[in-house]
Structure 1
Amino acid sequence: MERGGRWMRVIVIDDEKAMHLIMGKMLRKLPGIELAGCFADTASASRYIQEHEVHVAFVDISMPQESGMQFAERMAAQRPELHVIFVTSHKGYALDAFELSALDYIVKPVSLERVEKSIKRAKAIYHFHETASAASTPPPVHIFALGGFEVRTAAGSVKWKSRKSAELFAYLLMLRGRMVSRARLVAEVFGEMPSKNAETYLNTSIYQLRKALEPHGIKSVIQSNADGYGLDLHDAIIDYVEFEARLKQIDTMDNVNMEWCLETEKLYVGDLFGDKGYIWALNDASRLSALHAALVKKLASALIEQRKEDLAIGLLAKQHARNELDEETVILLMGAYAAKKELSSCERLYRSYEKVLRQELNIDPSQELKALYAELLLSN
């Protein structure tokens, strides 16, 4: 087998689809790596391995039907040249894994640095060289849709030819991988225009979109057929997609994964598409905002328990600025101030919240909040 100067072919086997996305994005950031496929079970992965060259498999241990351990044992007999790297939520299998000659053992949540370390081990064994031409793969695409909207490649940010061409790309982004009919695009993106003008503007915007993407080498991501258009961006790194994928990995919050959880929160730099005001995106924007708010509250509660009130206050203060009417955030923030014996801050927050409620909704704080405020005053 000639190995020098070639791409290392890697697969991921995990029954959690979120891990396919997470591992895929990490592996695509590493030079000389070709992600050959992601599989939800060992049976489909085995069929692929029998028909294709695969050098490394990242394998979850807890799998339906056949476990990752059983798969590794079977591969050791059938394909001894395949190196297995276990990726699991459980630390207790490490000894058994290395008895099966596993190349490495990674405990979730997974970090890019840890995956890169495993890949370096594999490259050392296979003697792969990172000499593959960058022209052999499409340029990486980074899309930032939280807090604004930017599409960036190695050539810089995409310069939109018009406001509507940017909105059209954003709409197709939300439905990436699917073809969208012209009728739907006209109704959703150009609905404020007369039907005849809308059709013309759709054609013009598609043309402008392709012209804007051409200098970045990604003109071909705009797909078309007789009925409509689509966006083929399966390799792109999209901030809101990464945010949701990381959320699905968070089961508990403790000292072990707190830094990783805080990094996840930082991904949410603002609402979906920022101040663009795309009406068709309101439901997704609200959903992501609610997910972020829930994450902040969960993080703050864990930080207060760990006596890290300053971190909790920073998170809650930003969340309170986003939504001044959210009583749960106010309760947590008052609790954090009280834990630090900052009575004046606690009182200012309560009075401010009381004022906002009366101005905006013409109501008073709940009895629960009033009782908490009185209790905090007495205890301090």
Structure 2
Amino acid sequence: MLRVVLIDDEKLALIQLESTLRALGTTIVTATYTNPLQALDEASGWNADIIFLDIDMPVLNGLEAAAALEARCPGSAIVFVTAYNNFALEAFEASAQDYLLKPVSRERLRKTIQRIRNRKGKIQSADKQDELMIRGFNSIQFERGGLPIRDFRWRTSKSQELFAYLLYYHDRIVVKDKLVELLWPDTSFKRASTHLYTAIYQLRQSLKRSDIGLTISNASVGEGYMLESGDAKIDFVLWEEGILSLEPVDDHNAPVHEELFKLYTGDFLGDYDYLWAESERQRLRNLSLQHATELADYYSAKDNITKAVNTYQRIVELHPYHEPGYLALMDFYNRLGELSFVQEQYDKLRSLLWRDLKLKPSAKVERWYANWKRLYT
């Protein structure tokens, strides 16, 4: 779904346009403004796909605002919305993607959005052929244009951990002393510094050999290193930014929440036993569980049992000791009349807790199960 921002000094016009956009169901209205100066102050944080902009406004008219917005939001399409048809030439000279006359009909708005979507799709399709994705959920993997880069090899486990640490702190300086202490804690500083220099060299050569295009630069007058991410995408960064930027799940943004839910494929660096990553792993894990539960609860409230069950199944896969997930599945399967599946979820939870933690299910789960057994035995 496209992210849009609306700017119009008339409050009623904003309400009408937002209502029409919501009815179309193809966009997310992330911000509305009646004051163009305030909009310019906050524009750098929008990340909007489309900016709908009135032309006839006091203090700063739409044409002037568009010039400033083009500099602040170079990736955003600007669409003018006005009650007057005598600004069309100036609008297109200002690089506007479209020019709409009030009142804007739903069909006219739909065509505008589809045209911009198609244009963005062509640009993104060309860009994605060269787009580098770095994945850090579960294990570190590199993809180019959506395809795995299979010829990359880590020279040593230390160089792999070194990259993981620099990736976590991407675009920030990590001092050499910290890396030496982290990777070679039982080695003399002089020898560990040599190991670090060798690992950095090997890592740079591996990245270059596979044409990954990442730079590890010397920083802070040679006292540290920095992984420069450039245009590369990092999955755990995209995932968290997406979740934090969205409003709570509703009918309008549920598909976006669903895509973010799918993006979380496992724990941060979950395949590696890096103690330094544990706190971040747990933080993202908790955020994942909170987000997934909100999505599952939304589907439950909408009585979309299929999606609710699918979401809870994924929750217990990612968080195998999460009792509320099993209890929710037991309840849904009971409502569906799938009694064998109810028993299967209970047995799975009980076995897992005892095998791994030497614990029994909580009193709440046991009460629910006991009541269920009385009804069906």
> TM-score, normalized by length of structure 1?
0.65
Alpha-carbon distance in 2 for matches of 1:304, 1:83: 41
Q: CA deviation at 1:350?
A: 1.9
- Contact kept? 2:214, 2:229, Cα under 8 Å: no
Q: Tell me: CA distance 1:324–1:58, structure 2 relative to 1, closer, same or farther (3 Å).
A: closer
Cα offsets for 1:330-375 (capped at 9, x unmatched): 2222122122122222123223323433444444332222222234
Alpha-carbon distance in 2 for matches of 1:241, 1:121: 26
- 1:365 matches 2:361: yes
User: Which of residues 204, 209, 226 is equivalent to 1:210?
Assistant: 204
**Aligned residue type for 2:353:** L
What is the match of residue 323 of structure 2?
327
The correspondence of residues 190-201 of structure 1 with structure 2, limited to 5 A, is: 190-191=184-185, 193-201=187-195
- Contact kept? 1:296, 1:315, Cα under 8 Å: yes
Q: Tell me: CA distance 1:238–1:375, structure 2 relative to 1, closer, same or farther (3 Å).
A: same
Q: Which runs of 5+ in 1 are unaligned?
A: 1-11, 15-39, 47-55, 62-67, 88-94, 106-113, 123-128
- 1:150 matches 2:144: no
What is the match of residue 272 of structure 1?
268
SS in 1 for 2:142: strand
The number of equivalent residue pairs is 303
Alpha-carbon distance in 1 for matches of 2:49, 2:319: 41
Identical columns (%): 26
Q: Tell me: CA distance 1:140–1:344, structure 2 relative to 1, closer, same or farther (3 Å).
A: closer
Q: CA deviation at 1:152?
A: 3.4
Q: Tell me: CA distance 1:377–1:237, structure 2 relative to 1, closer, same or farther (3 Å).
A: same
What is the match of residue 40 of structure 2?
42
SS in 1 for 2:172: coil
What is the match of residue 76 of structure 1?
62
User: Which of residues 119, 132, 137 is equivalent to 1:141?
Assistant: 132
- Contact kept? 1:297, 1:332, Cα under 8 Å: no
Alpha-carbon distance in 1 for matches of 2:362, 2:237: 36
Alpha-carbon distance in 1 for matches of 2:67, 2:350: 68
SS in 2 for 1:231: strand
Cα offsets for 1:36-79 (capped at 9, x unmatched): xxxx9624869xxxxxxxxx986779xxxxxx879987253536
User: Which of residues 324, 338, 341 is equivalent to 1:342?
Assistant: 338
Higher relative contact order (CA 8 A, sep 6+): 1
Alpha-carbon distance in 2 for matches of 1:251, 1:117: 26
SS in 1 for 2:226: strand
> Quick check: 317-326 or 264-273, which moved more?
317-326
> TM-score, normalized by length of structure 2?
0.65
What is the match of residue 173 of structure 2?
179
SS in 1 for 2:134: strand
Alpha-carbon distance in 2 for matches of 1:286, 1:149: 18
Q: CA deviation at 1:329?
A: 1.4
Alpha-carbon distance in 2 for matches of 1:172, 1:335: 45
What is the match of residue 233 of structure 1?
229
Q: CA deviation at 1:199?
A: 1.5
Alpha-carbon distance in 2 for matches of 1:288, 1:57: 26
- Contact kept? 1:142, 1:237, Cα under 8 Å: yes
- Contact kept? 1:148, 1:275, Cα under 8 Å: yes
What is the match of residue 29 of structure 1?
none
**Aligned residue type for 2:133:** H
Alpha-carbon distance in 2 for matches of 1:44, 1:328: 40
> Quick check: 184-193 or 200-209, which moved more?
184-193
- Contact kept? 2:55, 2:82, Cα under 8 Å: no
